Amino acid sequence: MIRKLQAVALDCADPARLAGFYAELLGGRVVADPDEPEWVEVHGFEGTPLACQRVDGYRPPEWPGQDRPQQLHLDFDVDDLEGEEKRALALGATVLERTDQLRPEANWRVYADPAGHPFCLCAH
């Protein structure tokens, strides 16, 4: 029987850079093994660790298109959507859609991390 989810791994071209983005976003820390630069983890926040792994020829997903589908995305619960958006953008994220401004029933916004993976900030 599986004990626990060990990590969620994101493919990217630059694992150290992407791990740094998520460490800052989540208030975590980068855990890297100098002998394995292709795999860098983010620990120190509540929840399952994130891992960033180097992939040769990495191509970021297209959102919302399906030529290069997202395959997965991350949702983060926040108390201050405006404040956390500013912080995420300052760290290198880009806005894909401010869903809460398009649909009154929505409480989330969609972003891309520096490697192009979609993630959502969801008002708690």
Average pLDDT along the chain: 93
Interacting residues of 8 by C-beta distance below 8 A, sequence separation 6+: 48, 49, 50, 51, 72, 74
Domains defined for the chain, CATH in brackets: 7-57 (3.10.180.10), 59-123 (3.10.180.10)
Digit-coded pLDDT (tens) for 54-104: 999 999 999 888 898 888 889 899 999 999 999 999 999 999 999 999 998
Cα dihedral sign for 9, 13, 16, 22?
negative
Interacting residues of 104 by C-beta distance below 8 A, sequence separation 6+: none
123: β partners: 78
pTM assigned to the model: 0.86
Q: Across residues 9-24, what is the average pLDDT?
A: 97
Distance CA 58, CA 36 (A): 18
